[in-house]
Amino acid sequence: MAEKKKKPKRSAADMHRTVQDQVQAIPFAVQHLEKEGKKTQAFIVKYLTGPVLRVVNKLMSRSRYKGPEGAKLKQSEHMKRHLEQRQKAMEYMQGEMKKAQKRQQKRGGGAGGPGKAR
């Protein structure tokens, strides 16, 4: 029998971060499911999964951000998270700009429009 490799245990910080991401994504997930016509799944996410995730997030926050050290940790984590999200948004927008430029070049650049001035 082949021996199974054990997955390394995820830290509390990693699990908490995952839960925070999921809590933030709940409204978007519900909207996406409704748009696809999956009303039952949207209902389950909105009224069952969502509240459970919020409670889990609250409990994890309470245990991790206890006391003055916890307040500092919370503030630093929020700032780091904010900067990471801004970085990802910038990278996404740069990618979109490159795609748009490639599309524009394939079309020939358009005569008389904004662009090359002669």
User: Residue 49: which residues within 8 A CB-CB, separation 6 or more?
Assistant: 26
pLDDT in tens, 1-37: 567 778 788 887 788 888 988 998 899 999 999 999 9
For residues 55 and 93, membership in a common domain is answered with: no
How many structural domains comprise the chain? 2
Considering the domain boundaries, does residue 82 fall inside one?
yes
pLDDT for the residue numbered 72: 81
Range of the domain at 35: 13-64
User: Residue 23: which residues within 8 A CB-CB, separation 6 or more?
Assistant: 50, 53, 54, 57
For residues 76 and 93, membership in a common domain is answered with: yes
pLDDT in tens, 73-85: 888 888 888 888 8
Other Cβ atoms less than 10 A from the Cβ of 108: the count is 7
**Does pTM surpass 0.75?**
no
* Residue 63 pLDDT exceeds 60: yes
pLDDT in tens, 85-106: 889 899 989 999 999 999 888 8
Mean pLDDT of 39-49: 93
Considering the domain boundaries, does residue 8 fall inside one?
no
